[in-house]
């Protein structure tokens, strides 16, 4: 026997005919040998031999091949895998069989590109077919007569799925609607007997739903055992059938619609008429309408020309809407149709005209009834002191009724029924009214508001306006009723009462604020007087007692000045201010003022009496003028930290014009108008009652002059007041009894912005400390005498650090970390409450004791809510102060 395949001499020849390309790769990826059996350019010896295979492969292919190669090397087992290779805009697919070979890998390359491409094309075709089947809801079925079982697959949504489903023939018939089974069984018998391409439709009930399906055979095969295989497709036609049902339903609806509908050719030949049209024109249901001309039937277009004119209008405009009066020759009770006609061209190019007519006879009768009702309403309501408007919501808010308002009777001279607001008002006004109507119509909620305007004579008129919706019923549409009452007189009375009430409340609030201020302002100097009086009694140091005496004296003077202001206020409230007139030298007066105030002016501020006419003398109350200028200077002192305070006078146009000008902080523009109000203070951190400038205003006006102020924030403030130039010569005819005048008038409630002059002590400065104790107490106090008192009481036992305001208190706390804080409440820049809140964010444990001349219950509550641990009211008792400090330092 010839054993050709076993002959070694034939091995190479046979290998060339049958084998794939062979590559022998060492473990580092170097091609050590190759036996190529293809013409692919990248599988030739000159390309691969001696090269690193993995460096030549594209990255994507290398990432796939490399792990397999390493598996073969590492586990010494064969692996077969398919790979994709993209080279020079060409894509190849290959099967690679890898075998372990003496610490190397023998790779067998087999090109499967053509097979892979064919496979991908088939897969794409199958995907396309599946998508088509899904859209068409088509499935595939097979039936073997011997098995008597249906096999389904596909996307009909009725039994069929992607996987093959099975159901017996008898079970399948049980799912059919009973009346459809005989026809289906007859169709099956025909297909068993012979190949039959006729389709059949039937219904299936599944999961409570009814589906329409169509089934058809496309293959019949007889088998040797006498049975036969039948194959075909099945389609879910439920949606199609529903559309057919919808068309039938639409046809039925049109035929039974209340509207009169017909269609006719351009020459007038009737091609369709629904039942309503036939009835309205006295035509039988079964008559041949194709013999009718529309212009012979309809009364509103009795000639062929009238029909063609209507057709031309429809073609020109795309559609034509019109009202046909008395359209029926038979039924005279039909008053009018509201009609719309359309031009329709079929797919075959045939032109026709379709008309839809709605009987509006009832609406016309209703409108006539409304018109009669309007006449009755006009007679009844036209003289009421109110404007009444009724609008139909569903009729573009047109008027059903409108009277002539009692306050504007000639506004509507024409009959407004059937018109709307745009017919009577400017567009802006009409649009506003329309939006109100829409809101009421949409929400069903009424509107109520008060509006001001002018009547036809230009007089103020105040209206109480209401809009409400009234729902309609089956015979009427919803309406909006608008009612406008003239409440001008009532509203003016109400406003006067409200204004009086607000003035009374404001006066009460201002007095309450004034009392609170008085409490603070009186307690502040009293605190120093009481405290330093105790220290004077306890001190053996003569120099120290002298210092304390000076502090007590300064606060006595301050307290006396407060009492004087309160007494002046009492005179203002009673309407009695007493003046003693006499000839006064203005130069001497101003010099006395300079001598009285020069030593009270803070360090860094110069008090300047500017050169004025020394010869000027006027008949006036010297003490009252002294009081006015002193108050203005005292007010300037509180707001001027550096620079100057200048004052003087001059004769201008028969009047003496006085001025006081400072270089202080100035007054904010929005507060300048309130500067002379009483009981109010524009700067809550400045000392004073808030009465000084108000008293100045009252005095100047009683002396026959005027006072004013001008100010620029950051630059300074100038107060100016005038007095009449009354000399002794000009008053010779005045009775001597008039030298002392008693004015008894009510003083207007106005004025604030400052208060009386107060002495300003010299403090120890921001952040300065005294005392030698180891326990540190931070004292936040803006008043020097109050700090001096605390310093005298506590410095021998504790180390004290002072902050002049709340902002410095926050900064110093973070710097010195005190053991306890004495926090004044009323301070400039940042008050004690706000400073406490900030410090509480830095420390929740440091004891903070509030000290304030504001000593009401709500003041204590506010301090505790801000984070204070305790509260001491001024004037401060030395024993009480030490007791509270010891308590909180011990607890700490």
The tokens describing 690, both together, are 């808030």
Compute the C-alpha angle 351/353/356, nearest 5°. 155
Least confident of 304-308, 360-364, 536-540: 536-540
Strand bridging mode 31-35 / 21-26? antiparallel
Helix (H, G, I), strand (E, B) or coil at 193: helix
Region 346-372: mean pLDDT is: 88
Mean pLDDT of all residues in 576-590: 85
Q: Does a cis peptide bond (omega within 30 degrees of 0) precede residue 612?
A: no
Q: How many CB atoms lie within 10 A of CB 566?
A: 15
β-bridge partners, 849: 822, 870
Q: How confident is the model at residue 776 (pLDDT cuts 50, 70, 90)?
A: very high
Dist. CA 423–CA 415, nearest whole Å? 11
- At residue 753, does pLDDT exceed 60? no
3 state DSSP class of 726 = coil
CATH architecture of 769-891: 3-Layer(aba) Sandwich (3.40)
Question: For 49-53, 158-162, 818-822, which range has the lowest pLDDT when averaged over its residues?
Answer: 158-162
Per-residue pLDDT band at 845 (split at 50, 70, 90)? very high
> In the predicted model, is pLDDT for residue 70 greater than 80?
yes
Annotation: CATH topology of 4-111:
Beta-Lactamase (3.30.450)
619 sits in the region (left: phi over 0; alpha: psi -120 to 50; else beta) called beta
Q: 274: closest CA among 351, 363, 340, 354? A: 354
- Confidence at residue 2, expressed as pLDDT on a 0 to 100 scale: 57
Q: Which structure tokens are listed for 417?
A: 């029924």
Residue 385 to residue 631: CA distance in whole angstroms: 59
Residue 865 tokens, joined: 């809510």
Looking at per-residue confidence, does 381 or 816 come out higher?
816
- 521-535 average pLDDT score: 78
Residue 748 has pLDDT above 50, yes or no: no
Q: What percent of the chain has pLDDT over 70?
A: 87
List every span in the chain annotated with CATH 3.30.565.10: 543-744
What's the pLDDT at 266?
A: 94
Greatest mean pLDDT range, 10-19, 724-733, 878-887: 878-887
Lowest mean pLDDT among 46-60, 439-453, 498-512, 782-796: 498-512
In terms of Cβ atoms closer than 10 Å to its own Cβ (0-12, 13-18, 19+), residue 535 is buried
Structure tokens at 40: 């692919």
Categorize the per-residue pLDDT at 311 as very low, low, confident or very high, splitting at 50, 70 and 90.
very high
CA distance 289 to 274: 11
For 258-307, what is each residue's pLDDT tens digit?
A: 899 999 999 999 999 998 999 999 898 888 888 899 999 998 888 999 99
pLDDT of residue 16: 59
Fold of 256-359: Beta-Lactamase (3.30.450)
Residue 706 pLDDT exceeds 90: yes
Torsion of CA 754, 756, 759, 762, to 10 degrees: -10
Whole-model pTM over 0.85: no
Report the distance separating Cα 583 and Cα 505, nearest Å: 44
End-to-end CA distance of the chain: 118
Residues in the chain: 892
pLDDT greater than 50 at residue 476: yes
Tokens representing residue 229 in the block: 């295989």
- In angstroms, the CA 864 to CA 132 distance is 80
Instruction: Report DSSP letters for 788-817, one per residue.
Output: HHHHHHHTTTSEEEEESSHHHHHHHHHHH-
pLDDT higher than threshold 90 for residue 754 = no
The bridge status of strand 820-824 relative to strand 848-852 is parallel
Pairing of strands 138-144, 149-154: antiparallel
State yes or no: pLDDT of 752 exceeds 50: no
DSSP, collapsed to helix, strand or coil, labels residue 725 as coil
What's phi and psi for 354, nearest 5 deg? -110, 130
Task: Find, among 356, 345, 355, the residue nearest to 264 by Cα.
Answer: 355
Of 672, 689, 678, nearest in space to 749 by CA: 678
CA–CA gap between residue 663 and residue 717 (Å, rounded)? 7
76-85, 401-410, 468-477, 873-882: which range is least confident on average?
A: 401-410
When pLDDT is averaged across residues 438-462 and rounded to a whole number, the result is: 86
pLDDT at 378 over 60: yes
**What is the DSSP code (8-state) at residue 403?**
P
Mean pLDDT, residues 692-713 taken together: 89
> Is the confidence at residue 420, as pLDDT, over 80?
yes
Q: What is the pLDDT of residue 647?
A: 96
| pLDDT mean over 24-49 | 87
**What is 128-238's CATH superfamily?**
PAS domain (3.30.450.20)
Residue 867, sorted as left (phi over 0), alpha (psi -120 to 50) or beta, turns out to be left
* Interhelix angle 832-842/806-816, nearest 10 degrees: 20
Residues carrying CATH 3.40.50.2300, the chain: 769-891
- Least confident stretch, 358-372, 407-421, 543-557, 678-692: 678-692
Report residue 89's pLDDT band, with 50, 70 and 90 as the boundaries. Answer: confident
Tell which CATH architecture fits domain 363-486: 2-Layer Sandwich (3.30)
Q: Whose structure tokens read 């995907």?
A: 127
C-beta neighbour count of 868 within 10 angstroms: 23
Question: Angle, to 10 degrees, between the axis of helix 784-794 and the axis of helix 878-891?
Answer: 70
Domain 543-744 sits in CATH 1.20.1250.20? no
**pLDDT tens track for 92-110:** 888 899 999 988 999 988 8
SS (H, E, C) 91-158: EEEEEEEEEEECCEEEEEEEECHHHHHHHHHHHHHHHHHHHHHHHHCEEEEEEECCCCEEEEEECCCC
- Where in the chain is CATH 3.30.450.20? 4-111, 128-238, 256-359, 363-486
d(CA 260, CA 339) in angstroms, rounded, equals 9
What is the arithmetic mean of pLDDT over 116-142? 77
Structure tokens at 678: 């009483």
The mean pLDDT value for 605-624 works out to 92
């Amino acid at each position: 026997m010839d054993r050709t395949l076993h002959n070694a001499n034939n091995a190479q020849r046979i290998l060339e005919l049958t084998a794939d390309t062979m590559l022998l790769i060492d473990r580092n990826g170097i091609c050590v040998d190759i036996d190529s059996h293809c013409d692919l350019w990248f599988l030739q010896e000159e390309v691969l031999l001696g090269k690193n295979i993995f460096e030549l492969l594209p990255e994507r292919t290398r990432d796939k091949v490399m792990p397999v190669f390493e598996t073969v090397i590492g586990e010494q087992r064969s692996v077969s895998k398919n790979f994709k290779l993209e080279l020079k805009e060409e894509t190849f697919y290959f099967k690679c069989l890898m075998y372990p070979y003496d610490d190397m890998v023998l790779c067998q390359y087999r090109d499967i590109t053509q097979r892979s491409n064919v496979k991908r094309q088939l897969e794409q075709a199958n995907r396309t077919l599946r998508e088509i089947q899904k859209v068409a809801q088509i499935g595939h079925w097979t039936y073997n007569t011997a098995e008597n079982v249906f096999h389904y697959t596909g996307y009909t949504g009725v039994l069929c799925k992607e996987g093959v489903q099975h159901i017996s023939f008898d079970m399948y018939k049980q799912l059919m609607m009973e009346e459809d089974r005989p026809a289906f069984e007859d169709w099956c018998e025909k297909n068993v007997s012979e190949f039959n391409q006729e389709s059949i439709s039937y219904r299936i009930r599944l999961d409570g739903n009814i589906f329409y399906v169509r089934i058809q055979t496309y293959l019949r095969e007889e088998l040797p055992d006498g049975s036969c295989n039948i194959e075909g497709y099945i389609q879910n036609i439920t949606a199609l059938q529903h559309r057919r049902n919808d068309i039938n339903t639409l046809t039925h609806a049109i035929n039974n619609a209340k509207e009169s509908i017909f269609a006719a050719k351009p020459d007038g030949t009737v091609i369709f008429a629904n039942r309503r049209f036939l009835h309205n024109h006295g035509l039988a249901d079964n008559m041949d309408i194709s013999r009718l001309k529309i212009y012979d039937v309809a009364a509103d277009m009795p000639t062929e020309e009238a029909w063609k004119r209507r057709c031309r209008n429809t073609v020109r405009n795309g559609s034509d809407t019109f009202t046909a009066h008395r359209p029926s020759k038979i039924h005279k009770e039909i008053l009018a149709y509201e009609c719309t006609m359309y031009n329709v061209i079929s797919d075959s190019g045939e032109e026709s005209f379709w008309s839809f007519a709605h009987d509006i006879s009832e609406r016309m009768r209703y409108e006539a009834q409304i018109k009669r009702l309007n006449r009755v309403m006009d007679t009844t309501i036209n003289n009421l002191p109110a404007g009444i408007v009724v609008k139909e919501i569903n009729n573009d808010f047109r008027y059903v009724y409108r009277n002539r308002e009692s306050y504007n009777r000639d506004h509507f001279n024409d009959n407004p029924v059937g018109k709307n607001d745009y017919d009577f008002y400017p567009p802006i006004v009409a649009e506003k009214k329309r939006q109100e109507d829409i809101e009421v119509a949409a929400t069903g909620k009424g509107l109520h508001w008060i509006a001001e305007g002018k009547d036809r004579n230009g007089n103020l008129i105040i209206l109480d306006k209401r809009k409400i919706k009234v729902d309609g019923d089956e015979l009427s549409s919803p309406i909006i009723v608008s009612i406008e009452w003239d409440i001008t007189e009532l509203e003016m009375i109400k406003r006067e009462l409200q204004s009086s009430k607000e003035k009374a409340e404001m006066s009460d609030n201002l007095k309450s604020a004034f009392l609170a201020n008085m409490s603070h302002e009186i307690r502040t100097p009293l605190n120093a007087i009481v405290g330093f009086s105790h220290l004077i009694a306890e001190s053996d140091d003569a120099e120290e007692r002298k210092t304390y005496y000076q502090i007590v004296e300064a606060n006595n003077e301050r307290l006396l000045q407060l009492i004087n202001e309160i007494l002046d206020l009492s005179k203002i409230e009673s309407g009695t201010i007493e003046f003693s007139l006499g000839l006064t030298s203005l130069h001497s007066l101003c010099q006395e003022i300079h001598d009285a105030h020069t030593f009270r002016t803070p360090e860094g501020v110069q008090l300047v009496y500017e050169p004025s006419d020394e010869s000027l003398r006027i008949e006036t109350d010297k003490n009252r003028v002294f009081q006015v200028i002193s108050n203005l200077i005292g007010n300037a002192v509180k707001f001027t930290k550096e620079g100057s305070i200048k004052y003087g006078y001059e004769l201008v146009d028969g009047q003496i014009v006085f001025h006081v000008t400072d270089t202080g902080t100035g007054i904010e523009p929005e507060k300048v108008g309130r500067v002379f109000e009483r009981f109010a203070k524009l700067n809550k951190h400045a000392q004073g009652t808030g009465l000084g400038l108000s008293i100045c205003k009252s005095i100047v006006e009683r002396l026959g002059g005027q006072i004013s102020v001008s100010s620029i924030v950051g630059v300074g403030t100038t107060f100016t007041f005038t007095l009449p130039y009354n000399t002794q010569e000009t008053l010779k005819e005045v009775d001597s009894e008039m030298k002392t005048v008693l004015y008894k008038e009510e003083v207007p409630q106005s004025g604030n912005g400052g208060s009386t002059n107060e002495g300003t002590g010299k403090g120890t400065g921001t952040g300065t400390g005294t005392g030698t104790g180891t326990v540190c107490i931070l004292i936040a106090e803006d008043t020097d005498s109050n700090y001096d008192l605390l310093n005298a009481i506590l410095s021998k036992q504790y180390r004290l650090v002072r902050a002049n305001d709340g902002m410095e208190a926050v900064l110093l706390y973070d710097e010195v970390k005190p053991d306890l804080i004495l926090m004044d409440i009323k301070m400039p820049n940042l008050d004690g409450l706000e400073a406490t809140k900030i410090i509480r964010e830095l420390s929740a444990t440091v004891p903070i004791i509030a000290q304030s001349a504001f000593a009401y219950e709500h003041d204590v509550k506010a301090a505790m809510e801000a984070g204070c641990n305790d509260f001491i009211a001024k004037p401060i008792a030395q024993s009480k102060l030490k007791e509270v400090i010891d308590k909180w330092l011990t607890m700490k």
